[in-house]
Structure formats: C-alpha cells, structure tokens
C-alpha cells in the first residue's frame, strides 16, 4: 500500500464516520435547528459536528498539516504544503430538506490535488480518486460517458447562493443551453454533480461555486477521462480562483464552452 493509499483510507474512515453521524440528523430533518449564514446559505449542528469529527480524525493522524473546512476558520499547521479541503455537508439545502447530500474531502499538495473522495451517506456510495491512479465508485473503476450525441446530453448545474458573485446573465442562458439537449438537472450538491459526471450519470456540469466543494470532483472527472476548464476554456489557475467551472465528457465540454464563451470573462 502506498502512502497516498493509506492517507485516502484515513480520509475514507473519516467520511464514513461523518456519514453515520450526519445520517442521524438527516433522519429528523424536519426538527433541525437551522442557522442562516446569508440568503439561501444555511448551517446546522450536523455541518459543524461533521466537520469537527473529520478535523479531529485527520489532524490527529497528520499533526502539523493544514485543513480548510467550510464551517470553522482554517487550521494552519507547521506544514503548509499538505492541506485537507473539507466540505462536511455539500448540499446543505438538500440535507435540510431530506434530500441526497455528500461529504467531500481532498488532499492538496501545493497546487496539486493528490487524492479525494465524495461520499453519499444516503446511497452509501463512496467515490474516490488518486492523481494518476484512476477514479472509482465503491471500488469499481469509473469512466465518463462516451456519448457525443447532443440530443442525449444530460447537463448538471446549480444556482449558487446570492452571496457568490455571479456572472451577470450567465444563468439566463439556461433556456438556450437546454433547448437541443436531453435535459438540465440540479443535483443540489456540487461534489455529487462532479461524481455523477465521472460515472456517466451526467455528461457534464457547470456552475460557479467554491473550489473546496469541487476539488475532489475535479480530480475524479479528470481521472475518469473528462475535461475540466473554466467557462472560457482556461486552466486551473482560473477555475480554482473564480469557481466558474465546466466538468464534462469531451463532447459536452465543447458544447458548454460554445454556450458560455460570450459571458463576460471573470479573472482571479
């Protein structure tokens, strides 16, 4: 077992434990106390408990490493080179309404994502990826959809919370994007949307969202043979900073670039 396999296994243990914990809250979603961070941006004890568990699990095994999570200030360890990115519940609005959500963790080394996971506790699906080592769902190797047929394209998106700065008019294009293809879907978790592209349940996904939610998913799609750029075809230095990304099989990527290329460009 390589060092990365071992770290990924520790991340998987943390996600499974956080999955069991959040499922207990999920079962009584109608009674949860909900904090409002901003318009459409919620938090509950489940998010905080999940992040605390993952933090303790990982930082006790990798003392001195850094960790950025969604609910607490980042932990800046002595080792700034290795950083875990954690979204303890991605799809909080889904979660609070009793719908599928995910837990996502990735390990960054400088600007590289070494490995990552996306765990859906409701369906017990564990998506994993290692840089150069492939993408997997519950141990089965993944490949993006091989379809090139525009009429069959299934494109995921999300409507980000209003506190994210949106490209003016970008989502007004949904009608045009929808017209010739099979359909547009809102999965409700950015990480899960990426996982769906990696395993072929969606042919592509675009959104403007936080990189912590999608770092594992981006690696997963790349390892499954997909393409990842920002909306104007640019590389990681752009989509990591602005969060405007397309993750897709090659044909859907080309289609979405064509649809989004006239949106005014956003630079880091």
Find the binding residues for ligand LIP in span 124-163 (CB under 6 A). Answer: 158, 160
User: At its nearest, how many Å lie between ligand LIP and the CB of residue 43?
Assistant: 9
- Where do runs of H (alpha helix) occur along 62-150? 92-96
| Binding range to ligand LIP, per CB under 6 A, among 1-9, 48-56, 166-174, 186-194 | 186-194
Query: Which segments are annotated as binding site for Mg(2+)?
Result: 70, 87, 89-90, 213
Side-chain-facing half-sphere of 192: CA atoms under 13 Å: 25
Q: And the tokens for 17?
A: 């434990």
Print the binding letters for residues 37-76 with ligand LIP: x by CB under 6 A, - otherwise.
---------------------------------x------
CA distance 72 to 197: 29
Q: And the tokens for 7?
A: 């770290």
Nearer to ligand LIP, 40 or 133 (CB): 40
CA distance 175 to 163: 23
Question: In the set 134, 210, 233, 250, which binds ligand LIP (CB under 6 A)?
Answer: 210
Nearer to ligand LIP, 92 or 252 (CB): 92
Rule CB under 6 A: say whether 242 interacts with ligand LIP.
Answer: no
Cα torsion angle, 75, 16, 5, 128, sign: negative
Q: What is the CA radius of gyration of the chain?
A: 18
As a whole number of angstroms, the longest Cα–Cα distance in the chain is 52
Question: In the set 118, 190, 244, 263, which binds ligand LIP (CB under 6 A)?
Answer: 190
Query: Which segments are annotated as binding site?
Result: 70, 87, 89-90, 213
Which residues are bridge partners to 107 per DSSP? 84, 115
List residues binding ligand LIP (CB under 6 A).
70, 87, 90-92, 158, 160, 188-190, 207, 209-210, 213
């Amino acid at each position: 077992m390589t060092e990365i396999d071992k770290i990924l296994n520790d991340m998987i243990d943390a996600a499974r434990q956080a999955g069991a914990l959040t499922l207990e809250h999920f079962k009584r979603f109608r009674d949860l106390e909900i904090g409002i961070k901003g318009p459409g941006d919620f938090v509950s004890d489940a998010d905080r408990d999940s992040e605390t568990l993952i933090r303790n699990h990982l930082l006790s095994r990798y003392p001195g490493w850094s960790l950025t999570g969604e609910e607490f200030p980042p932990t800046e360890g002595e080792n700034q080179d290795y950083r875990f990115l954690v979204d303890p519940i991605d799809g909080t609005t889904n979660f609070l309404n009793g719908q599928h959500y995910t837990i996502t963790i990735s390990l960054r080394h400088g600007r590289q994502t070494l490995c990552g996971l996306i765990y859906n506790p409701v369906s017990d699906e564990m998506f994993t990826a290692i840089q150069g080592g492939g993408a997997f769902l519950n141990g089965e190797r993944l490949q993006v959809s091989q379809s090139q047929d525009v009429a069959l394209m299934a494109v995921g998106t999300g409507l980000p919370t209003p506190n994210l700065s949106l490209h003016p008019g970008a989502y007004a294009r949904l009608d045009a994007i929808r017209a010739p293809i099979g359909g547009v879907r809102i999965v409700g978790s950015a990480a899960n949307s990426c996982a769906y592209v990696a395993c072929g349940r969606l042919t592509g996904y675009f959104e403007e969202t936080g990189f912590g939610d999608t770092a594992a998913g981006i690696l997963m799609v790349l390892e499954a043979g997909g393409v990842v750029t920002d909306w104007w075809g640019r590389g990681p230095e752009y989509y990591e900073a602005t969060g405007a990304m397309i993750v897709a099989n090659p044909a859907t990527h080309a289609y979405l670039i064509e649809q989004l290329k006239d949106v005014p460009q956003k630079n880091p």
